[in-house]
């Protein structure tokens, strides 16, 4: 067959000189760079064929074949040399070449080699959905490479014969190549879901703990399909996976807001694209017109124009219909012109900060929030209720300016966190709306923003004094103030969900930096510093100072420098789009108030303004005539006096007494005290009565009954301090080399941490109050000795006195050597003693300069180590003692020995034992979840071991409710009573027993357990949905019975002080959550089930009372 003209065999290969000029382009000699009477041999691989070309027609020469291998051929020239090639699995007839390319191959005398095909294996229903995918493709997925999802939808036969080699044979650069055919993007959501499930199954083979991430990503794509335009969701998925291949460490659960806005929220007609998806030439931002004199309307919006980098007229962009999520995820309004700022900062010396500013101004600043993104509710302060009309006016103003979104009847974002708002009164009597992102304590938005992003260094009064000294006597001063400072900086849409609040029953969220975010000051300070630098560079005047949004300018007397600098600043702000508060702008003068201090260049002095001086005198008179004041009032007065001391320096000596008076007051009020604290105060009062020979009124009947009522109405608060475990101790010691500033410090703290844990030391026994204080109970260098006993080293630690040993009876602890040298107290102490500062008669742990280790330093390094290890929890210095006692009890140390080790004289030691045993009893759901938990990062204890919890799995396949009592009593013979009992039973009883009969049995057994073991907290885990119910004629009837039983048992458990776990996210309609039998959970389903268990147990252990998860 004669090959087509475009692939016709070149004459140069047939031995004739290709000197005749061809009209057609792309002949083999020309593409290979062959000139007159020249032949350039070349060789390429096509599957298992090696092609070598010379001046004559090639011949096929067989290569030696070994058993089990295919026959490979080499094309040789006149010299008939053979080039051995390693055969591969694919043959030439399986490369997927088109008919015309086959004809071309025959024209080159290439023999088509046929091989016998092994029958294809038919997948079983017991195989995983990705079992048919070849290992080579799986390895690409595991390596994080981008892969076309179309490939995963091919059958096992197509994958075996295709091997992704379909394409056209072409010549490029003198080489024969196979160009793969471009597969079209999947635009059907159901087809995409099928392909992605296979992709997810392959990834989960390697990383089974990523199931939740993929479910979230699938949810996001399906959400994009339902809310977006056309096939924008498919482009989003394609681009997202391309970015994921470049940055594999990112989470699949994170939403890419840039891609979402580009392809989901924006209509295709106006969405920017670098491909042909929505029209236009590839790589172009808009369609070029072939006629230069005629302006053509673009079919895609130019992204460069939106950022001020394109010269196109604005009329080229037509009105776009906004998507459903456009308002939710669009940036807030800011008047700042990013293009001008970028141009001004071209030579900014701090390039990293400049890039951060430009990116933030363009796409929004991130809050650097690192906590969990879960919906949280909070109530506003009383000031919002009192001044509701004022709050409503301020919110409406912000919405009009485009800096807030709302109102919404329902939470607009699934993870919207609600924080309270309140009003703060200004000096002029007006109010400022504050978004309190520091609420609640220890679990607020600000708590999860690292301090390194919030630290900032401001200019102060001393800097202003130096500026006045520089301009000299009668120098000129002027100032200006940026209007709505924080609100000029927009927040990234990815952090909108952390800025929600409620007012009048409606939902709102901020789009610009709020007053109340800990990172706001730091971000705006970077912006104002850049503005300061540009002003100084442009004006040539170095006498400029700024404090956040306040700018101070100076100039010499009889010189226009100050006025010119102010005008330059106003011009730059106008170019940048930064609004200024005209009422706060002061023209050049000799007397000016800056940061609350009045500067006078004529007299060269600084003083308090008359208004501040009058207010301070009135406050002092009020305090002098008051019999008592609150701690907050006294602290407010100290703040005013400290401010005045900046002008009146000798006054600091008098303020010292007031500051000392507040040091011993730990709390600003005494409301909500526990009964034990009140009893302690009463003991002090009783002692004072007795020592002064007065009648002790604390023993009266009324006082006793009042205290008894207080115990009932205000029960004792649980100790929130978390014990440090062995594993956590190991992590803390490893992190010290990263958080300590020297190797000496890291060795010292490693020894101190280890000894505190294994010797059950109080922080007052290991560290002093101050660097120069020896401490009454602090261990000294003479109190420790390392001796050998029975070929093993022992540490003998003498406790001369302690909190419970005020008479110095002393006690010697013997600590044995640990197998793990990284946390062995003997090994670490010997390391420290080798480098310790040679000082006798001092505390054991001292710094390199001989000063003592203090409590503050001990606690500070502990918190830094926890932060570096990314460990959250209420850990304190006492956590070492609590953890040591808990570990000793877990290892079986008896109570008397434990009391002696910890120097306890009462039963207070029981409060330090935090071993919370959790039994999980159930049927096959628990059995398979146990196996899945062993491969998760948290292990069998679901990551709860850091809180002192210990999980025991009791899963028996086919277990019914009637087996509960027998299994529980048998386990109780060899183990102590658990703290929590989680029950996952009842599913095997549905269909066999009626719902009434099943609930009656459950009620009887649970009430019996509660009566026999009142300290046992019972947790009911809902009977899960099933896709198929065995022994059931009607699945819908069983489902109704399941719901009835779950509801009634939940109410019963809550009535006896227990808890309940709802599994509403495990639904029967989600087939990927179940195995092939429709009864047991798949890997993904088990992952969700374990996440529910972990979250519920964390909540129940923290709350202590009856609760339902999720709330």
pLDDT of residue 666: 64
Is the confidence at residue 27, as pLDDT, over 80? no
* Neighbouring C-beta atoms of residue 41, cutoff 10 Å: 10
* Residue 952 and residue 1042 share a domain: yes
How many residues does this entry show for the chain?
1111
Q: Structurally, how many domains does the chain consist of?
A: 7
Give the pLDDT band (50/70/90) at residue 73: very low
Task: Report the range of poorest mean pLDDT among 92-106, 257-271, 577-591, 680-694.
Answer: 92-106
| Residue 193 counted as domain residue | no
| Residue 154 counted as domain residue | no
* Residue 863 and residue 761 share a domain: yes
| Residue 19 counted as domain residue | yes
Question: What separation in angstroms does the CA of 262 have from each of 230, 587, 593?
Answer: 13, 47, 49
Per-residue pLDDT tens over the stretch 391-427: 999 999 999 998 999 899 888 887 889 999 999 888 7
Query: Residue 976 is encoded by which pair of tokens?
Result: 């102590």
pLDDT of residue 747: 92
pLDDT of residue 960: 92
Query: Residue 103 is encoded by which pair of tokens?
Result: 């004809």
pLDDT of residue 671: 64
* Residue 853 and residue 969 share a domain: no
* Residue 833 and residue 761 share a domain: yes
CA 240 to chain centre: 19
* Residue 516 and residue 460 share a domain: yes
Mean pLDDT within 611-630? 86
Is the confidence at residue 19, as pLDDT, over 60? no
* Residue 77 and residue 33 share a domain: yes
Higher pLDDT, residue 43 or 198: 198
| Last residue within a domain, chosen from 562, 586, 606 | 606
The conformation of residue 591, written as its DSSP 8-state character, comes to E
* Residue 533 and residue 576 share a domain: yes
Per-residue pLDDT tens over the stretch 1054-1068: 988 899 999 988 988
* pTM score above 0.85: no
Per-residue pLDDT tens over the stretch 898-944: 888 888 888 777 777 777 789 999 999 999 999 988 888 778 888 88
pLDDT of residue 178: 59
Higher pLDDT, residue 164 or 1085: 1085
Q: What's the mean per-residue pLDDT of the chain?
A: 78
pLDDT of residue 2: 46
pLDDT of residue 157: 66
Domain at 1025, CATH number: 3.40.50.1110
Structural domain that includes position 837: 726-782+818-908
**DSSP 3-state of 191:** helix
Mean pLDDT within 816-841? 86
pLDDT of residue 306: 42
pLDDT of residue 26: 43
Is the confidence at residue 895, as pLDDT, over 50? yes
Rounded CA separation 505/407 (Å): 9
Per-residue pLDDT tens over the stretch 224-233: 887 666 778 8
Could you tell me where the DSSP H helices lie in 520-646? 520-539, 561-576, 610-624, 631-644
pLDDT of residue 491: 93
Domain at 847, CATH number: 1.10.443.10
| Residue 183 counted as domain residue | no
* Residue 948 and residue 900 share a domain: no
The conformation of residue 261, written as its DSSP 8-state character, comes to I
DSSP 648-706: SGGGHHHHHHHHHHHHT--SS--TT--HHHHHHHHHHHHHHHHHTT---GGGSHHHHHH
Residue from 393, 552, 396 nearest 461 by CA: 552
Which of the listed ranges 74-88, 334-348, 892-906 does the model predict with the highest average pLDDT?
Answer: 334-348
| Residue 807 counted as domain residue | no
2-9 contacts at long range (C-beta below 8 A, 24 or more positions apart): 2/103, 3/100, 3/103, 3/104, 3/106, 3/107, 4/100, 4/103, 7/100, 7/101, 7/103, 7/104, 7/169, 8/107, 9/104, 9/107, 9/108
Per-residue pLDDT tens over the stretch 1017-1027: 999 999 999 98
Mean pLDDT within 665-690? 78
| Residue 903 counted as domain residue | yes
| Residue 337 counted as domain residue | no
pLDDT of residue 948: 66
Task: Report the range of poorest mean pLDDT among 98-102, 207-211, 824-828.
Answer: 98-102
Per-residue pLDDT tens over the stretch 824-834: 999 999 999 99
Rounded CA separation 159/162 (Å): 5
* Residue 322 and residue 414 share a domain: no
* Residue 580 and residue 445 share a domain: yes
Query: Residue 729 is encoded by which pair of tokens?
Result: 């101790």
Residue from 1023, 1088, 1010 nearest 1050 by CA: 1023
Question: pLDDT > 70: what percent of the chain?
Answer: 78
| Residue 811 counted as domain residue | no
Q: How many alpha carbons lie under 13 Å from residue 895 in its C-beta half-sphere?
A: 7
Domain at 506, CATH number: 3.30.70.270
| Last residue within a domain, chosen from 606, 626, 649 | 606
Is the confidence at residue 387, as pLDDT, over 60? yes
* Residue 552 and residue 635 share a domain: no
pLDDT of residue 950: 80
Which of the listed ranges 60-64, 686-690, 1041-1045, 1104-1108 does the model predict with the highest average pLDDT?
Answer: 1041-1045
How much of the chain is helix, strand and coil, in % rounded to 5?
45, 15, 45
pLDDT of residue 117: 52
Per-residue pLDDT tens over the stretch 109-131: 444 444 445 566 666 666 778 88
Is 285 within 8 Å of 265 (Cβ atoms)?
A: no
Per-residue pLDDT tens over the stretch 510-520: 999 998 899 99
Per-residue pLDDT tens over the stretch 938-955: 788 888 876 667 889 999
Higher pLDDT, residue 610 or 322: 610
* Residue 1034 and residue 958 share a domain: yes
**DSSP 3-state of 883:** helix
Higher pLDDT, residue 670 or 573: 573
pLDDT of residue 283: 36
Give the pLDDT band (50/70/90) at residue 284: very low
pLDDT of residue 801: 81
């Amino acid at each position: 067959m004669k090959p087509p003209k475009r692939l016709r065999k070149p004459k140069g290969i047939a031995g004739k000189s290709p000197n005749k000029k061809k009209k057609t382009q792309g002949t083999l000699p020309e593409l290979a760079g062959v000139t007159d009477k020249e032949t350039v041999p070349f060789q390429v691989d096509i599957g298992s064929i090696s092609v070598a070309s010379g001046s004559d027609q090639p011949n096929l020469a067989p290569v030696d074949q070994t058993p089990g291998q295919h026959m490979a051929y080499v094309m040789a020239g006149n010299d008939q040399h053979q080039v051995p090639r390693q055969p591969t699995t694919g043959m030439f007839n399986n490369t997927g070449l088109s008919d015309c390319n086959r004809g071309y191959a025959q024209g080159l005398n290439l023999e088509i080699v046929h091989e016998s095909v092994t029958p294809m294996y038919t997948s079983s229903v017991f195989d995983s959905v990705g079992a048919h995918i070849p290992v080579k493709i799986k390895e690409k997925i595991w390596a994080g490479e981008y892969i076309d999802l179309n490939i995963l939808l091919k059958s096992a036969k197509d994958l075996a014969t295709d091997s992704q080699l379909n394409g056209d044979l072409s010549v490029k650069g003198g080489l024969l190549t196979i160009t793969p055919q471009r597969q079209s993007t999947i635009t059907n959501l159901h087809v995409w879901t099928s392909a992605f499930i296979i992709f997810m199954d392959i990834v989960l083979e390697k990383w089974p703990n990523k199931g939740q991430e993929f479910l979230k990503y699938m949810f996001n794509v399906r959400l994009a399909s339902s809310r977006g335009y056309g096939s924008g969701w498919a482009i989003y998925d394609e681009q997202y996976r391309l970015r994921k291949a470049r940055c594999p460490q990112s989470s699949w659960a994170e939403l890419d807001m840039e891609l979402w806005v580009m392809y989901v929220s924006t209509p295709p007609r106006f969405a920017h694209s670098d491909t042909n998806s929505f029209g236009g030439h590839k790589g172009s931002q808009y369609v070029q017109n072939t006629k230069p004199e005629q302006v053509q309307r673009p079919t895609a919006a130019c992204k460069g124009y939106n950022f001020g980098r394109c010269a196109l007229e604005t009329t080229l962009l037509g009105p776009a219909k906004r998507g459903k999520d456009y308002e939710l995820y669009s940036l807030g309004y800011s008047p700042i012109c990013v293009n001008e700022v970028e141009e001004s900062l071209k030579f900014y010396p701090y390039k990293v900060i400049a890039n951060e500013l430009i990116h933030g101004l363009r796409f929004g600043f991130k809050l650097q929030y690192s906590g969990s993104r879960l919906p949280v509710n909070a109530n506003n302060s009383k000031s919002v209720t009192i001044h509701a009309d004022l709050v409503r006016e301020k919110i409406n103003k912000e919405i009009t300016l485009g800096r807030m979104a709302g109102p919404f009847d329902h939470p607009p974002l699934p993870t919207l966190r609600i924080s309270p708002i309140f009003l703060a009164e200004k000096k002029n009597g007006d109010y400022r709306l504050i978004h309190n992102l520091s609420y609640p304590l220890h679990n607020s938005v600000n708590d999860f923003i690292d301090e390194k992003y919030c630290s900032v260094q401001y200019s102060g009064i001393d800097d202003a004094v130096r500026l006045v000294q520089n301009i000299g006597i009668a120098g000129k001063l002027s100032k200006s103030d940026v209007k709505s400072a924080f609100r000029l900086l927009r927040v990234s849409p990815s952090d909108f969900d952390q800025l929600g609040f409620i007012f009048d029953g409606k939902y709102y969220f901020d789009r610009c930096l709020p007053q109340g975010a800990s990172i706001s000051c730091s971000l705006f300070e970077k912006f104002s510093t850049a503005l300061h630098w540009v002003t100084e560079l442009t004006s040539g005047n170095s006498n400029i100072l700024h404090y956040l949004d306040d700018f101070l300018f100076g100039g010499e007397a009889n010189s226009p420098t100050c006025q010119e600098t102010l005008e330059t600043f106003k011009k730059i702000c106008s170019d940048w789009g930064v609004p200024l508060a005209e009422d706060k702008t002061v023209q050049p003068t000799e007397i000016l108030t800056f940061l609350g201090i009045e500067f006078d260049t004529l007299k060269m002095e600084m003083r308090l303004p008359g208004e501040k001086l009058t207010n301070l005198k009135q406050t002092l008179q009020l305090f002098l005539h008051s019999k008592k004041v609150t701690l907050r009032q006294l602290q407010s007065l100290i703040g005013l006096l400290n401010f005045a001391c900046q002008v009146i320096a000798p006054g600091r000596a008098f303020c010292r007494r007031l500051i000392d008076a507040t040091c011993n007051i730990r709390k600003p009020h005494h409301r909500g005290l526990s009964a034990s604290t009140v009893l302690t105060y009463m003991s002090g009062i009783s002692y004072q009565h007795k020592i002064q020979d007065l009648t002790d009124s604390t023993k009266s009947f009324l006082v006793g009954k009042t205290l008894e009522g207080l115990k009932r109405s205000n029960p004792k608060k649980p100790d929130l301090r978390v014990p440090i475990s062995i594993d956590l101790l190991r992590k803390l010691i490893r992190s010290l080399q990263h958080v300590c500033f020297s190797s000496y410090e890291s060795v010292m703290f490693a020894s101190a941490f280890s000894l505190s844990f294994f010797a059950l030391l109080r922080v007052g026994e290991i560290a002093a109050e101050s660097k120069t204080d020896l401490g009454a109970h602090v261990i000294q260098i003479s109190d420790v000795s390392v001796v050998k006993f029975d070929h093993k080293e022992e540490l003998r630690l003498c406790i001369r006195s302690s909190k419970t040993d005020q008479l110095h009876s002393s006690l010697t602890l013997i600590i044995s050597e640990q197998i793990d040298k990284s946390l062995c107290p003997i090994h670490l102490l010997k390391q420290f003693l080798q480098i310790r500062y040679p000082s006798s008669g001092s505390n054991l742990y001292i710094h390199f300069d001989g000063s003592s280790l203090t409590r503050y330093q001990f606690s500070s390094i502990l918190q830094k180590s926890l932060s570096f290890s990314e460990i959250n929890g209420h850990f304190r210095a006492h956590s070492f003692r609590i953890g040591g006692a808990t570990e000793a009890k877990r290892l079986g140390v008896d109570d008397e020995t434990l009391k002696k080790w910890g120097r306890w004289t009462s039963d207070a030691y029981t409060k330090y034992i935090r071993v919370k045993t959790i039994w999980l009893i159930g049927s096959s759901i628990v059995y398979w979840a146990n196996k899945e938990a062993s491969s998760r990062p948290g292990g069998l204890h679901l990551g709860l071991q850091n809180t002192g919890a210990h999980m025991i799995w009791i899963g028996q396949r086919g277990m019914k409710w009637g087996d509960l009592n027998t299994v529980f009593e048998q386990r109780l013979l060899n183990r102590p009573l658990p703290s929590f009992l989680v029950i996952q039973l009842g599913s095997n009883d549905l269909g066999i027993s009626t719902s009434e009969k099943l609930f009656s049995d459950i009620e009887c057994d649970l009430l019996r357990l509660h009566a026999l073991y009142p300290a046992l907290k019972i947790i009911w885990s809902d009977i899960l949905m099933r896709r198929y119910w065995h022994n059931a004629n009607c699945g819908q009837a069983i489902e109704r019975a399941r719901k009835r039983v779950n509801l009634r048992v939940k109410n019963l458990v809550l009535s006896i002080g227990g808890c309940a776990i709802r599994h509403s996210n495990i639904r029967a309609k989600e087939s990927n959550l179940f195995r092939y039998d429709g009864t047991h959970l798949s890997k993904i389903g088990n992952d969700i089930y374990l996440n529910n268990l972990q979250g519920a147990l964390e909540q129940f252990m923290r709350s202590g009372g009856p609760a339902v998860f999720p709330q």
